[in-house]
A = this chain, B = another copy of it.
Amino acid sequence: MEQSFLAYLRGRCRNLPQVTVGIGDDAAVIEPVVGQQIACTDQIIDGVDFLSAEHALADIGYKSMAINLSDVAAMGAVPTSALVTLALPKTNATRIAGEVYEGIFEAATTFGIAIAGGDISTYEGPLAIGVTLLGHVPTGGAWLRSGASVDEAILVSGAFGGSLAGRHLRPIPRIELASRLRELVDVTAAIDVSDGLSLDLDRLLAKSDVGCELNVDTIPIHEDAIEMSKTSGRTPFQHAWSDGEDFELILTMSQADANKVLSQDVGVRLSQIGKTTSRTGLWKLENGRHERLSPQGFTH
């Protein structure tokens, strides 16, 4: 199937200025970018990361791009091009590839990304989609997990919990927010929430060698978490704290910068949930006493 499907792909791929030579040569040729380059890769596999029997293949294709876009947003970077690897079950391979690519093209169009290349195989195994995303940081440096200092504000985008009710398939990677913030303030550290708010926050803090004091009442809880709590036996807060697949950003910055972005419309809800401290770990202050919180989420 490869040759004919590649011909179809070449027809579908839009010509974008960042990719001079796309599918059809030994490698893609990408125009030089300004600033640091960013590269990340994530694969999702049927039966592990999604269930093809339950989810539309176009949604899964979209998600394979979105999870990588979320990583690029967490670096404060602009995505430019993607390479896509499909491992397809032998039965209905061409149909599956076509439907997956519908979602991939949708994400590529929405975020201005060129499909620069890829590889397609059929095999005795489940559908697996691997995306490598390339981008760049036009000015300044990439946002690392390790950049937070003591006494900085901790902000989050959006709201948390209950993503598995459906929105985990169609997350909106915070690419545009990242660009807005880069113009406005100095983000000192960032991470995207894939495995759970508390777990990913803990990872950022550990890399920065700081802790945090959270005002847990300010953690934005998604309505999906409230809905899910009605049947799950867990509180909305527990869902928000540990569910994962929110694909929102956790950001640190000076309190002055935080006040600046919180006082204006940046297109996405931002909330300050606490501040960094020299005492490591996650803590909440309640009735004048510090209580240690335990990070929870999905560990691979």
The distance in angstroms between the C-alpha atoms of A192 and B42, with both chains bound, is 28
Q: Which of A126-134, A155-163, A221-229 contacts B (4 or more CB under 8 A)?
A: A126-134
Q: Are B36 and A33 in contact (CB under 8 A)?
A: no
| CB of A219 closer than 8 Å to a CB of B | no
Q: Looking at A48, A118, A128, which has the most chain B CB atoms within 10 Å of its CB? A: A128
Known: A26-B75, A27-B75, A85-B85. A32 touches B37 (CB 8 A): yes
The distance in angstroms between the C-alpha atoms of A132 and B37, with both chains bound, is 15
Q: Are B3 and A299 in contact (CB under 8 A)?
A: yes
Chain B residues lying within 8 Å of A37, measured Cβ to Cβ, are 29-33, 37, 134
Chain B residues lying within 8 Å of A300, measured Cβ to Cβ, are 1-3, 120
Set B21, B142, B146: member contacting A144, Cβ < 8 A: B21
A 264-286 to B, binary, CB cutoff 8 A, 1 in contact else 0: 00000000000000000000000
Q: Are A42 and B3 in contact (CB under 8 A)?
A: no
The distance in angstroms between the C-alpha atoms of A28 and B87, with both chains bound, is 24
| CB of A177 closer than 8 Å to a CB of B | no
Chain B residues lying within 8 Å of A132, measured Cβ to Cβ, are 39, 41, 83, 132
| CB of A66 closer than 8 Å to a CB of B | no
* A178 nearest CB across to chain B (Å): 11
The distance in angstroms between the C-alpha atoms of A1 and B35, with both chains bound, is 35
Q: Are B36 and A32 in contact (CB under 8 A)?
A: yes
Known: A123-B48, A300-B2. A75 touches B25 (CB 8 A): yes
Extra inter-chain contacts (13) besides given A39-B83, A39-B117, CB under 8 Å: A3-B299, A26-B192, A27-B39, A27-B75, A28-B40, A32-B35, A37-B37, A45-B87, A45-B121, A45-B123, A45-B125, A47-B124, A85-B130
